[in-house]
Every structure is written in C-alpha cells, then in structure tokens.
Amino acid sequence: MTSYRGAPPPENPPPGPWVPPEDPPARAFLRAFFPPLDTAGLRFRGGWSGLPIFAIMTLVYPLSLQQANWVELSSHFTNIAIVGLLAGTLLGNSRLRPSRAAALAAVLGSIAVLLFTVFAVPEGTFRERAVALGVDVNTWLTQVLAGEAARGQTVFTLFLGASSWATGYIGAFALARSRRVWESIVVNGACLVVNVSLALTPLLLDLVVFSLCALVLMVRLHIVTLQERWEARNIQPTGEMDWRVLRGGLTWTTVLVIMALVSPRVGAAEVLGTAFDTFEAPYQRVEAEWQRFFAGVSGPSRLRGVSFADAIRLGQSPNLGEATVMTVDAAQGRFWRVIAYDFYTGQGWRSTEVDRTADVAVEETRLREPFEATFNILDSGSGNRLYAANEPLAATVPVQFLVGSDRTFSSGVRAVESRHAAGSYTVLSLVSVADKGSLRRASAPIPESVRRSYLQIPSTLPQRVRDLAREVTASATNAYDKAEAIEGFLRTNYRYAPVVRPPPPNRDPVDFFLFDLKEDFCEYFASSMVMMLREVGVPARLIEGFTSGTFDPVSGQYIVKQVNAHAWVEAYFPGYGWIEFEPTPSETPFVRIEAPAEESDPAAGGEDGSLETDPDAAERDLRIAELEALFAEASGASGAGAAPAPLVDPAPLVSLLILLLLAAVAFVARFEWRFRRHSPVEAAWGKTQLLAAYVGHPSRSSETTYEFADALAVIVPEAREPIRTIADARVRERYAAAGADDGLREAAEDAWWRVAKELLVLLPQRVLRAVVRLIPR
C-alpha cells in the first residue's frame, strides 16, 4: 500500500505515487518568516504577578533616557521598547530559528525606530519629516568621514531608539524561547548603568528600581521553576509555600540593595583602577571619537568637582565649588597646566597627541628657565594626570609624557601609577622668560609637525570668524603682535560670565560667542583666540588647568580651589616654544617686558635656519641636567627603588582573544559541516550525541534512541524536555510510515539549540577536570 506524507491522498488516486501540491511561493515565504505561533507559550511564565514587574524592569531604561535629556526627541523611546517587547514575545514563541528571528527582528526594529522617530518630530508632513531625517543622516556621514565633529542629534536619536528596541526585544525573546530572564537583566542593566553613569541628571533611583525589579522577578521565576519540578514529581507543596519563598526573596532583595548603597569601597577597587590604567589610552581614543561622532548631543559634564578628559565639548556648565584641590609650594605663582588640546572639532576640543614616553626630548629653545613646583593633592579629580607649569620636564614620581610624532614637547604628563598622582610630588618645568622684542623677531621656520597639528581649522568654521581674525590683526607685522592684538581685542570687547550658555544646535561655539553671546566662560575666550590665531598663521593650542590660586602667607603656599579651574592659550614661536596668553578679562594677563628692537635674535636662525649660539645656554643646560639627575633619582626612590613599571602591552592579550575567537568560529563551522548532508532531525540528533561525547557522556552502541535520551536527561535534567523532543522526532523520522512532519522537524531544530546551551555549560567543567588530573600529586 502506498503511504502519503504531509497530506491526505485523493479519493481516486492516479497510478503511481501521489505527490502533494506545493505551496505557492508567497505562502512558502510567509511560512518561512512567519511560522505558526505557540499560543500556549504566550502567557507570561511568572504569572500575572510577575508580568508588571518584568514590564517595569524593561521600561526603566527608555524612561531613564528621557530623564537624561540627551536629545530633544526622546518621548518615543518608551513606545519603541514596548513594540520591541511584543516582537520579542511573538518571535520567541514562534518556530523560527534564532538566526532568522534575529534577522527579522533587525528589519522590524529598523522600521519601528525610523517610523517612531519620524512621527516624534513635531512639525511638517510625514514626507517632509522623513526627507529631513535622511538629509540629517547624510550630513552626519559627510562630517564624520571628513574627520570633523558631527553636530546633529538625529543619528544619536536613532541610536538611542535602537538601544531601546534591543533592550525590549532581547529580554522578551529570551524569556519566551529559553524561559530565562538573565538576558534581559544583563542587556537592560548594562545599558542603564552606562546611561546613569554619564547623565547630568541624578538617576540613581532608576538603578535602584531596576535592581529591585530584577531581583524580585528572579525570585518569582525561581518559584515557578520549583512548582514545575514539584508537579513533575507529584509533590504537593503547602498553600503558604509560594508566599514564604517570595517573602524570603523580597527580604534578601531589600538587604542586598541597602548593602550596595551603604557599603564602602573595597580594596579591590584599587586593583581594578590599576588594571584600567593599562587600557586607559585606547579607551580615551574611543571616547574622543565617540564625542566627535555625536558632538551635537548634550553630553556629560566635563567637570564634576574638577576632572579633565581627552575631549571636551564647549558650552557645558562646570560644577565648581570652594573645595580645595591642592596646595602648591613654588617660588612664584603660575598657571598650573593639566592638558593641552590641539584638534578643534567644530563643537569642542580633542587631544590627539596621546603617545606615551618615559621622557621628552625638549626642543632647543631660548630664554627659558627651570622652575620647580611641589603639589600636595587634596582632591585627585584629575585622575593620574599631574599638574605642571608651562613645559614639564621631569618629576619625582614615575611619569609618562603625552607627546606627538616629534616628541619635542608634551600635551600632558601622567603618573605611571594613580596613587602617585593623588599624593605629593614635585615637577620640574621649563618656563619662558622671553621678552616682547625677542618674540617679535622670532622668524625661524615652523616645524612641519607643529604646522600639521596646531594650524588645523575645520571646514565648518564660519567665514565671518576668519574675516574677523584678519581684520583684528590687519596692522600686525609679526606673529607676536598678531597674538597680542587678538588677546587685547577679546579682553576689551567681551565680558566674562560664570554662567555657561550652550550654543544652539548646528551652531559653531566660537561663532556663537563672538557674534551673539559676547560674554561667557573662559573656554569660549580661549577657543576663540586659538581659532583666530590659526586663521592668521600662528600655531596655537587650548590649555586647561588651574590659575595660581591664592597665596597663603602663613604656610607660604598657594591654595588652589575648584573655582580656580581655568582655560587659557599657548601660541608657538619658533626658537622659543609655547608661550602663554590670557584672553579672559577676569584674569590678569601674562607680564612680559619690552626689549630694544635692535638686539640680534639668535632664535631667528642663520642662513641655514639653525639657531645661533645663546651665551647663557651652556650654564642653563648644565643646571637643567643636574636637576634632571636629581629628579630621576627621586623618581626611582618613590618607586620603591625600582624603575618605573612598564605599561602592559594589550596587544598580546588582544591577539590571544582574536585567536580564541577564530578557533571558536572554526570549531562551530567544522561542527556544522559534519552534518550538512543530514536531514534536520538526524542532524539535531547527531549534534546532540557528538556534543554529549565532548562533555564526557558518549552514547553506547547498545543503547536505543530513547535509552540514550533518558540517560542524558538524568545528567542534564534541565534539558530533559528538548532531548525528549529530539528523540521523538528521530524515532518518528526513522520508523514511522509517514515520517516526521514539518512541525516536528522545526521542533527538533529548536530543541537542539536548547540542548546545546545546557551541554556547553558542562564543557569547561570537563576541561578543568582534565587539567586537574594532569597535575602530579
């Protein structure tokens, strides 16, 4: 008798085997991407008491984004997360493979994010809003690829919307498919921690609510798991069992949250801080690029108390108080430099000279004297950065200088170990004593490395800023007079204001300050002077640190407080190095004496461009060499008699991780390749047998399919149901006349992924046992 698979035979079958009609292409496509749902799984596993907890936990992140107020359009993030949650639930209860579900979710998520973002725009027709969004994205790509700052908020709004979708979808999909909540906790928690850490608005309550919901939900799902086990073993718990377990979980949840809030920092924090120092430089490069990509976003405050980063955004209000940062023991008060910025993004500044070296090859400069300053740090808000006067040369602690390609000067100096930056240290610097006449006659060629980095101007700088710079310096005939003219122009025509006002969207901060504000914080003054100097051909950079502070006659030290945080300008003069200028009218300008114009200028160089002999250079160099030797000896002593510990090169670790990743990819590819010619059911069964053998539980030739499945289920009880599903499908495939239907094949494929997750957990345990057996006893 002829058997018929997948469809009933016709009443009057034609001669020969009957083949069921194929589905139309459209229906086959829909079945592939929209398979039937498991409607029994649509109910929430934690019951009606757990559903609102899960919903709150999922929606805390998009609500937190709204409170952080990163972008103007943020009210739609919650709607995106809700749609993602629904999509994750439906796809999780479907028979789609995880890879197909992920691809479909990516398409649905992109459509949802784009539509909700377009509808969130308050003005214009749908077409106008959609076209404006496309234009903004194209503009963002153009600015990013040109190496400039992207000012618009549209792309960042889309990014936040995508993160809201991901947090809603991933958690719901994992809960529906694997009946676990860990994926939701990890993904939502990580996104929430990042947002809470960077937002200006205090959002600690959001983190507390999320933690409470996550812990309570875990307790609730654990109760459900216990109930399922009890039912499977015919155990009838008492009526109060659920409440007792839930009450205990709530109690411990409350205790854990309180302990997390009130517990002091543990000793491991210092170890973690030291470990982070190793990867700080690449992290800061990534952070700088991130801020360039999203320069138009209202980012975190650069100064909370006082702290300095490799990238800043103009228009951010500093949070400065009267707390004392440090006391300085020095022969005279100077500005204490922390960091120099060279790259103007069109929205803020970045420090791109971040290569590290143990010493700096000081450029041969004229009219500079050694200067020592001892810093006693009371508030280490600068991380492991050290304070210094003008051009640092050496320190009494192991340090690294941040330099550019030619290594002739630094953009900052860091302690090798953070603990050295938080105590007391002395820094030897070279400070300029050049007079105005000498600086006016400086005419040696500007080094190419200086021209490349410190004459950079973004193409987005408005033309009227360029015209103003030329107009102010029209009567100046040399670089120093140009710098003095711009400095005097800003000090005379603009006013200092302690309240910082951010520029409007898509406005250059320098242009906004010069032509609209005309009064604001020191960063606006310094930024404007740097850009105007660069426009007229004078290399310049923006410096941040502290003013000299207030001199205390009792202690003989300078008291530096948070309110002394300041930004000023350094301009480059060939042969004389970096010279300080003060464009902010609230501070006293740097004093320089005049000099007879007829004096010869060794810095101007001879016919070959080399510097002429400085009669005081030999004595000065000998003194500097002696001081450097003393500082090197002190630096070795501060390091417990050892040389500064070299930085851990992350390249070997990264290479090892890449090799492990490639090995894992190769293993998975080979594993899948072995079963490429098997049917879906036989492939699922073969993979289960092979992976079980890898973890130490191979099948025996005498075992039947069900015997091996039962034995494996005893070893991995959490995978009992999917193992049984695969076994049933294999028996039906092999021995039933009709074979396994499409639904059973898809169920076997889905069950294989669930079994694989449980078996892979056992693999490290077997490896560990094998290693232990190799150890001689």
Q: Which residue has the higher pLDDT, 341 or 310?
A: 341
In the three-class reduction of DSSP (H, G, I as helix; E, B as strand; rest coil), residue 426 is classed as strand
Cα–Cα distance measured from residue 330 to residue 322, given in angstroms and rounded to the nearest whole number = 22
Quote the pLDDT of residue 627: 65
Question: Which range scores top for mean pLDDT: 90-104, 394-408, 486-500?
Answer: 486-500
Neighbours of 45 (CB within 10 A): 18
In the three-class reduction of DSSP (H, G, I as helix; E, B as strand; rest coil), residue 210 is classed as helix
Quote the pLDDT of residue 316: 76
Which pLDDT band, with edges at 50, 70 and 90, does 303 fall under? very low
Q: Which of 537, 559, 518, 434 is nearest to 478 (CA)?
A: 537
Contacts of 565 (CB under 8 A, 6+ apart): 303, 306, 318, 320, 544, 545, 546
Neighbours of 291 (CB within 10 A): 24
Q: Which residue has the higher pLDDT, 71 or 148?
A: 71
Question: Which range scores top for mean pLDDT: 231-235, 598-602, 734-738?
Answer: 734-738
Quote the pLDDT of residue 763: 76
CA atoms within 13 A on the CB side of 164: 29
Question: Span 673-679, mean pLDDT?
Answer: 80
Question: Span 617-641, mean pLDDT?
Answer: 60
Per-residue pLDDT tens over the stretch 705-761: 888 888 888 888 888 888 888 888 888 888 887 777 877 888 888 888 888 888 887
Strands 495-496 and 519-520, by their bridges, are parallel
Contacts of 142 (CB under 8 A, 6+ apart): none
Per-residue pLDDT tens over the stretch 53-63: 888 888 999 99
Cα–Cα distance measured from residue 180 to residue 178, given in angstroms and rounded to the nearest whole number = 5
Per-residue pLDDT tens over the stretch 476-517: 999 999 999 999 999 999 999 887 888 887 788 999 999 999
Q: Which residue has the higher pLDDT, 92 or 223?
A: 92
Quote the pLDDT of residue 270: 45
Are the C-beta atoms of 181 and 50 separated by less than 8 Å? no
Q: Which of 562, 557, 572 is nearest to 340 (CA)?
A: 572
Quote the pLDDT of residue 265: 44
Q: Which of 135, 83, 72 is nearest to 112 (CA)?
A: 83
Quote the pLDDT of residue 610: 44
Cα–Cα distance measured from residue 18 to residue 4, given in angstroms and rounded to the nearest whole number = 7
What phi and psi values does residue 542 have, to the nearest 5 degrees? -95, 135
Helix (H) or strand (E) holding 697: none
In the three-class reduction of DSSP (H, G, I as helix; E, B as strand; rest coil), residue 464 is classed as helix
Quote the pLDDT of residue 269: 42
Quote the pLDDT of residue 304: 42
Which pLDDT band, with edges at 50, 70 and 90, does 559 fall under? very high
Are the C-beta atoms of 577 and 390 separated by less than 8 Å? no
Q: Which residue has the higher pLDDT, 660 or 631?
A: 660
Per-residue pLDDT tens over the stretch 409-438: 888 898 888 788 888 999 999 899 999 999
Contacts of 61 (CB under 8 A, 6+ apart): 81, 163, 164, 167, 188, 191, 192, 195, 210
Q: Which own/partner contact pairs does 729-735 have at CB distance under 8 Å and 24+ positions apart?
A: 729/681, 729/684, 729/685, 730/681, 730/682, 730/684, 730/685, 730/705, 731/705, 731/706, 732/681, 733/679, 733/681, 733/682
pLDDT at 46 over 70: no
Question: Span 640-668, mean pLDDT?
Answer: 62
pLDDT at 288 over 80: no
Quote the pLDDT of residue 643: 41
Tokens of 619: 């004595």
pLDDT above 70: percentage of residues in the chain: 73
Per-residue pLDDT tens over the stretch 761-776: 777 777 666 666 655 5
pLDDT at 323 over 80: yes
Question: Span 581-600, mean pLDDT?
Answer: 80
Quote the pLDDT of residue 164: 93
Which pLDDT band, with edges at 50, 70 and 90, does 302 fall under? very low
pLDDT at 654 over 70: no
Q: What is the mean pLDDT of the chain?
A: 79
Q: Which residue has the higher pLDDT, 677 or 592?
A: 592
Beta strands in 516-619 (DSSP E): 519-520, 540-546, 550-552, 557-561, 565-573, 577-581
Strand ordering across the sheet containing 348-350: 311-313, 348-350, 343-344
Per-residue pLDDT tens over the stretch 510-540: 999 999 999 988 999 999 999 999 999 999 9
Contacts of 444 (CB under 8 A, 6+ apart): 574, 575, 603, 604, 605, 609, 611
Q: Which of 405, 363, 359 is nearest to 611 (CA)?
A: 363
Residue keyed to tokens 């929606």? 59
Q: Which of 158, 171, 130 is nearest to 74 (CA)?
A: 158
Quote the pLDDT of residue 298: 54
Quote the pLDDT of residue 261: 54
Quote the pLDDT of residue 635: 60
In angstroms, what CA-CA distances link 276 with 300, 303, 383? 20, 21, 12
pLDDT at 114 over 60: yes
Q: Which of 6, 95, 42, 28 is nearest to 752 (CA)?
A: 95
Quote the pLDDT of residue 527: 95
Cα–Cα distance measured from residue 102 to residue 281, given in angstroms and rounded to the nearest whole number = 34
Neighbours of 574 (CB within 10 A): 21
Question: Span 179-191, mean pLDDT?
Answer: 84
Tokens of 438: 């000498």
